C-alpha cells in the first residue's frame, strides 16, 4: 500500500524530476566508482534496489546484465525485478558476479543473515555502500534520515547505523575478506554524514 502511494506521488512531475535529478547525480558517480569492479556482461544483483534509478544507470553505463530485488516495489525505472521477503534471496547459489548493496544495510533487521545470503548468491564480489557516521552531527542526521524513512514507509524498526570500524569488524566476524574500502565524497544536503564503500570477497579467507 505504501509502495502504491509512493508510486503515485512519484508520477507527479516536480517530484519525479527532483527524484531523477538527485538519484541520477548519485548514479553517475557510483557508475564511475563501480567501473573498476563490474565488467561488461557481468551479472549483477542490486539487493534493495529501491527506485531502480541507480541500477538502471549502472546497467546502461557499464553494459551489465542487472536484476533488482527488494522488499517493496517502488521502481521508477523498468529494470528486471523480483520482490522478496527480506531474508531469503530468491536466487540459486553463486548466481551473480556482483551483489550490490547500496545504502540498504542500515534498514535491515537481520544484517548478518542477509550478508550470509549475499555471500551465497555471489561468485565474485559483494559491493556495499553505507552511511558511516563519525561524529554527533552525522549521528543526528542519520537519526533524522531513519525517522523520516520509517514514517514514510510505516516501518517501526529503527535504522541501525554503524561506524566504518564497526562494519569492518562485522565483515571480519563473518569471514568476508575485505578487498578494498574508500571514503565516498557525496554531498546530500538533506542527509549529511560520512559514507564508505566496501568491496568484499565471499570466499572464506
Ligand atoms: C535508502 S533505500 C536505497 C535504495 C537503492 N539501493 C539506492 O541506493 O538508491 C533502502 C532500500 O532498502 C530496502 N530494504 C529494506 N530492507 C531490506 C531487505 N531486508 N532486503 C532488501 N532490501 C531491503 C528498502 O525497501 C529500500 O528500497
Residue 38 · residue 64 · CB < 8 Å: yes
pLDDT of residue 9: 62
pLDDT of residue 4: 63
Q: Which atom of ligand 1 is least distant from the CA of 47? A: 21
Where in the chain are the domains? Answer: 2-201
pLDDT at 30: 96
pLDDT at 5: 62
Strand ranges for 63-194 from DSSP E: 65-70, 81-83, 96-102, 122-131, 177-184
pLDDT of residue 150: 81
CA distance 39 to 88: 27
Helix, strand, coil shares, percent, the chain, to 5: 40, 20, 35
Separation CA 123–CA 155 (nearest Å): 32
pLDDT given for residue 79 in this prediction: 97
State whether the beta carbon of 68 lies less than 6 angstroms from ligand 1: no
Question: Quick check: CB of 102 below 6 Å from ligand 1?
Answer: yes
- Phi, psi values for residue 83, rounded to 5°: -80, 140
Query: For residue 109, how far is its CA from the centre of ligand 1 (angstroms)?
Result: 12
> Coil, strand or helix: which one is 165?
helix
Give me the residues of the chain with pLDDT under 50, please.
none
**pLDDT in the model for residue 3:** 61
195 lines ligand 1 (CB under 6 A): no
User: What is the full DSSP assignment across 84-120?
Assistant: --SSS-SS-TT-EEEEEEES-GGG-S-HHHHHHHHHH
Residue of 51, 65, 66, 58 lying closest to 31 (CA atoms): 58
pLDDT tens sequence across 47-75: 999 999 999 999 999 999 999 999 999 99
Class of domain 2-201: alpha beta
Amino acid at each position: 500500500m505504501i509502495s502504491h502511494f509512493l508510486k503515485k506521488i512519484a508520477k507527479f512531475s516536480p517530484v519525479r524530476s527532483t527524484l531523477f535529478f538527485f538519484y541520477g547525480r548519485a548514479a553517475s558517480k557510483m557508475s564511475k566508482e563501480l567501473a573498476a569492479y563490474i565488467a561488461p556482461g557481468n551479472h549483477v544483483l542490486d539487493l534493495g534496489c529501491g527506485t531502480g534509478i541507480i541500477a538502471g544507470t549502472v546497467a546502461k553505463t557499464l553494459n551489465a546484465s542487472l536484476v533488482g530485488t527488494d522488499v517493496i516495489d517502488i521502481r521508477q525505472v523498468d529494470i528486471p525485478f523480483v520482490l522478496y521477503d527480506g531474508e531469503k534471496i530468491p536466487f540459486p547459489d553463486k548466481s551473480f558476479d556482483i551483489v550490490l548493496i547500496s545504502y540498504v544495510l542500515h534498514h535491515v533487521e537481520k544484517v548478518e543473515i542477509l550478508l550470509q545470503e549475499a555471500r551465497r548468491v555471489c561468485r565474485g564480489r559483494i559491493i556495499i555502500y553505507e552511511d558511516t557516521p563519525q561524529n554527533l552531527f552525522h549521528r543526528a542526521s542519520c537519526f533524522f534520515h531513519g525517522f523520516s524513512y520509517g514514517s514514510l514507509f510505516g516501518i517501526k524498526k529503527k535504522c541501525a547505523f554503524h561506524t566504518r570500524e564497526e562494519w569492518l569488524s562485522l565483515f571480519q566476524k563473518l569471514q568476508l575478506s575485505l578487498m578494498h574500502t574508500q571514503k565516498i565524497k557525496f554531498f546530500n544536503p538533506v542527509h549529511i554524514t560520512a559514507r564508505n564503500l566496501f568491496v568484499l570477497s565471499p570466499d572464506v579467507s
